[in-house]
Amino acid sequence: MIRPDANKAALRRRLLAVRSGLTPDDIEAAQAALARQARKLPELANAGTVAAYVSVGREPGTRALLDTLRARGVRVLLPVLLPDNDLDWGAYQGSDALARAGRGLLEPTGDRLGPDAVLDADTVLLPGLAVDRRGLRLGRGGGSYDRVLARLAAAGADPALVVLLYDAEVLDEVPAEPHDRPVRAAITPSAVHRFPAEG
């Protein structure tokens, strides 16, 4: 029998291989479409505070969405990676207020708000590689967002959890572990998917 982490590792490799074939034009088109789809999601339209992230490399692009949210007056929190892989948070003040950090990430340059700042979020946008029909998300395996989700659960906070993906990354099933927490929705360039799936 294959261990769950081995299944996850193999699936991550396959998904990352597909992403590696995307062109800059593919990524730019997907980013614009993701921002359009995101406007349809009430959890974003009605949010006062959104915890998000700055996409890097071939991740589904978030920058257009970040600017749209900020222009609407939404308080956008961005993660700052700590040495132990936990996340601190800072306010998004526009693309000019981002700095290169470790692992190729872009982080806000302003004040650090502390790891518990995420507890104020109405919606949390999560990076991921895939989601399944149960709403279970496959992350990159670093554990940073598992800590965020555990922090939210421990505090009794219940923000809407939303993952941003490419269309082909909505799968029938991803390997799951007992601590995995389902997302409420996935936004892809062509649709908003809600979980558990209706039907």
**114 assigned to a ligand binding site:** no
**80 assigned to a ligand binding site:** no
**106 assigned to a ligand binding site:** no
Question: Which neighbouring-strand residues pair with 161?
Answer: 124
**65 assigned to a ligand binding site:** no
**138 assigned to a ligand binding site:** yes
Helices (DSSP H) in 109-166: which residue ranges? 144-154
**137 assigned to a ligand binding site:** yes
Burial level of 26, CB count in 10 A (0-12/13-18/19+)? middle
**156 assigned to a ligand binding site:** no
**140 assigned to a ligand binding site:** yes
Angle at 62 between CA 58 and CA 65, to 5 degrees: 155
**142 assigned to a ligand binding site:** yes
**199 assigned to a ligand binding site:** no
Q: How far apart are CA 163 and CA 131, in angstroms?
A: 8
CB-based contact 179:155 (threshold 8 Å): no
**40 assigned to a ligand binding site:** no
**97 assigned to a ligand binding site:** no
**54 assigned to a ligand binding site:** yes
Q: For the chain, what's the residue count?
A: 199
CA 150 to chain centre: 15
CB-based contact 53:62 (threshold 8 Å): yes
**135 assigned to a ligand binding site:** no
**81 assigned to a ligand binding site:** no
Q: How far apart are CA 60 and CA 82, in angstroms?
A: 23
- Residue ranges of the annotated binding site are 8-12, 54, 59, 137-145
- Residue ranges of the annotated binding site for substrate are 54, 59
- Residue ranges of the annotated binding site for ATP are 8-12, 137-145
